[in-house]
Structure 1
Amino acid sequence: MATVVESWLRLAAVPRLGAKSLSKILSSHPPQSLLTLSDNEMLALGLTQAQLHAFRYPDETMIEKCLAWEDAPHKHILTLADQRYPYLLKHITSAPPLLFVEGDPNVLSTPQIAIVGSRHASADGLSLAHEFAYQLVHHELTVTSGLALGIDGRAHRGALDRKGRTIAVLGSGLDNVYPSRHRRLAEEIKDNGGALVSELWPWSPPKPAFFPKRNRIISGLSTGVLVVEAALKSGSLITARLALEQGRDVFALPGTVNNPHAKGSNGLIKQGAFLVESVEDILEQVGTLAGCAINHQLDVMQAQVLQEELPFPELLANVGNEARCVDVLAELCDQPVHEIMMQLLELELQGVVTAAPGGYIRTRRG
């Protein structure tokens, strides 16, 4: 049988499988169990014949390349079922089923502020991006951006100069860092407690269509988005719009009226974004979501210890926040149903799992 990661890779490779269809599939079947379903059962989940064929007969070379990529040091493939998958991102409407990560995957669950802006920023804009990033990491926040020229690069640099953590979300595969001018910066990010992130296959080249999609990950990872100098039609405004749709706070630095690269950020302020003059203006607003991220990070850090202390670690590894029925758990654990029922009863008595509509879920203690 395929491994868990291989099953997710198969599912992620299915063409034109939208977020709604993916959510419907995952609500009833983990990817590994899909391989046991009949064609009619798969089609009933909403797949087309072409999508079913793509899942049944994937490009094995591509999957093997991904698995070999993950075997290298400091490279990780996080699935939606992985405890290290960042909590805030997991709960956006179009959460990517896979994240390819180089560096420390745990940094993705730290409280983050995204800093985005123009690739053709003014000297003042570049200086402010650096200064705000420098101050934010001083307050134990991680700075997230897109590794682009201009504001993004200066934000990453500001975080590194204060020896803080920063995350770069790429619009290309991680083996094709773009822009090439920032390859050394990308190495510094990985080497100093940060991470590079992409939902694309590692060998994917940069394409214009990839960058708007990557912006939803930048905002989805973050508790708030700070826009520094954005033109009226720019990727930064796309990120700000996505942030609002995801329930994140949007902050903007005001610019002079004769600066064309400030018209977008000034427009955001007119539309209700928080006008920011200092880092304190941001810190006052982000407490609740940051607290969620901190609590999740603690859960991730403690998970391994708790797993060792609690019985039936294999079963626990397959019980999460979404209900799973006993039959699915028995299949995933390769154990008889009656054995799984006994184990679930013991875990329920310990307050680790609880019965829910459709199966069992973990409790806070679990």
Structure 2
Amino acid sequence: MTPRRLSDSERLAWLRLARTETVGPVAFDHLLQRFGSAERALVALPDLARRAGRASPLRPPPESEVLQELDSGQHLGARLICSCEPDFPPRLAALDPPPPVLWALGRAELLSQPSLAIVGARIASAGGQRFARQLAAELGRHGYVVVSGLARGVDGAAHEGALATGTVAVLGGGVSDVYPPEHAALHARIAHEGGCIVSESAPDRRAIAKDFPRRNRIISGLSLGVIVVEAELKSGSLITARLAAEQGRDVFAVPGSPLDPRAKGPNDLIRQGAILCEGVEDVLRSLSGQAHLRERERPYVTEDDGVEVDHDALRDEIARLLSPTPVSRDELVRATHAPTAAVMAALVELALAERAELLPGGMVAGI
């Protein structure tokens, strides 16, 4: 997608499409390519969902609701950045697909600078917090912005260490959603002094559980690499590390004592091939020559390669092939012998009808 500025009417349609029920980043990306603009996609949505078997009409949010979101952001002093715009973070734009919109409160220019994420346990040890704080400060002195999630423990320590040089806090809720409450002062300092608060949610939205995987994807997507300081085996920090690996970013892990459950996550990452991190030198050595990531090619085309397709029959066939177990879109292309663009169109229509779930990484599951 060629970067461009949106007019006020285009921006309104872009946000309405992004906020429409069942339109996630994958469907949004496809709809833009298929119809050429958010305005035309909005017109087509109800019919697409109906043809795919949606029981109730699919209605985008009214303009008044989206205008209220824009007013809320403006009142806070936040900026809405759409994924097609020149100042959208380039590393995030390289994701397949990127989030359609970001709200940024504070120094939005930090989002395009070389950055590294530091994540870890909420109930972190004093030593783990000290390491995160010192590592963040040293990375800042070497010119890197530090990204984290403003959670208790390691996240908060990393932000504190990088306040003087620049830090980005990615939230599950909106940019005004201060969580945990004890980080209210830190939230304010990041927003108004040394950094930027970022979210793809509406500015006044309160976070719920399903928002945090999306937040973790943005944390890794903004960064050249993710450093895990302390984490138990089942934790959001390891999800962030997995997402980073899927995105082609470096994964670093700080080793710890086998007697501490919080060391099990990083130690296991090292066994799986993560880069051992005992200090800033390990990070800088790995990152040499990796300051910029190029935007990847789009994974599918928008034409049917001249092949005549019965779209209704293809959609029904794909619906039969889907199950709750995720499968790759490429596998469905092979199974149906249909053009990639036609398969993707059918999947988006099924997602709009709530009969399929489009997942990051090119995966899809039946509902």
The CA distance in 2 between the partners of 1:238 and 1:222, in whole Å, is 15
How far off is 1:292 after superposition?
4.0
User: 2:117 aligned to 110, 114, 119, which one?
Assistant: 114
Is the 1:171–1:178 contact (alpha carbons within 8 Å) kept by the matching residues of 2?
Answer: no
1:263 aligns with 2:264: yes
Matching residue of 2:26: 20
Relative contact order higher in (CA < 8 Å, ≥ 6 apart): 2
Report Cα offsets for 1:165-186 as digits up to 9, x if no partner: 0000001112221111111101
Matching residue of 1:179: 180
How far off is 1:3 after superposition?
1.3
Report Cα offsets for 1:32-76 as digits up to 9, x if no partner: 4445x5679x63999876897423xx2334212112123336310
Matching residue of 2:284: 283
Count of residues paired in the alignment = 291
Matching residue of 2:103: 100
Is the 1:225–1:240 contact (alpha carbons within 8 Å) kept by the matching residues of 2?
Answer: yes
* RMSD, aligned α-carbons: 2.7
The CA distance in 2 between the partners of 1:15 and 1:90, in whole Å, is 23
The CA distance in 1 between the partners of 2:8 and 2:161, in whole Å, is 43
1:149 aligns with 2:155: no
The AA in structure 2 aligned to 1:63 is V
Report Cα offsets for 1:136-167 as digits up to 9, x if no partner: 0000100000000000000000012xx11000
The AA in structure 2 aligned to 1:106 is E
Percent of aligned pairs sharing the same letter: 42
Report Cα offsets for 1:261-292 as digits up to 9, x if no partner: 11101100010000011201101222344234
Matching residue of 2:189: 188
Change (3 A) 1:94 1:51: farther
The CA distance in 2 between the partners of 1:196 and 1:174, in whole Å, is 6
The CA distance in 2 between the partners of 1:209 and 1:39, in whole Å, is 24
Matching residue of 1:341: none
Q: With structure 2 as the length reference, what TM-score do the two structures score?
A: 0.73
Q: With structure 1 as the length reference, what TM-score do the two structures score?
A: 0.73
How far off is 1:26 after superposition?
1.5
1:30 aligns with 2:30: no
Is the 2:10–2:38 contact (alpha carbons within 8 Å) kept by the matching residues of 1?
Answer: yes
1:69 aligns with 2:72: yes
The AA in structure 2 aligned to 1:170 is L
Matching residue of 2:162: 159
How far off is 1:30 after superposition?
2.2
The CA distance in 1 between the partners of 2:152 and 2:44, in whole Å, is 49
Change (3 A) 1:59 1:229: same
Is the 1:21–1:46 contact (alpha carbons within 8 Å) kept by the matching residues of 2?
Answer: no
Is the 2:12–2:63 contact (alpha carbons within 8 Å) kept by the matching residues of 1?
Answer: no
Matching residue of 1:351: none
Secondary structure of the residue aligned to 1:188 is: helix
Change (3 A) 1:132 1:255: same
The AA in structure 2 aligned to 1:210 is D
The CA distance in 1 between the partners of 2:87 and 2:237, in whole Å, is 27
Is the 2:16–2:63 contact (alpha carbons within 8 Å) kept by the matching residues of 1?
Answer: no
1:8 aligns with 2:11: no
* Structure 1: stretches of 5+ with no match in the other structure: 296-322, 325-366
The AA in structure 1 aligned to 2:59 is A
Secondary structure of the residue aligned to 1:284 is: helix
Is the 2:238–2:265 contact (alpha carbons within 8 Å) kept by the matching residues of 1?
Answer: yes
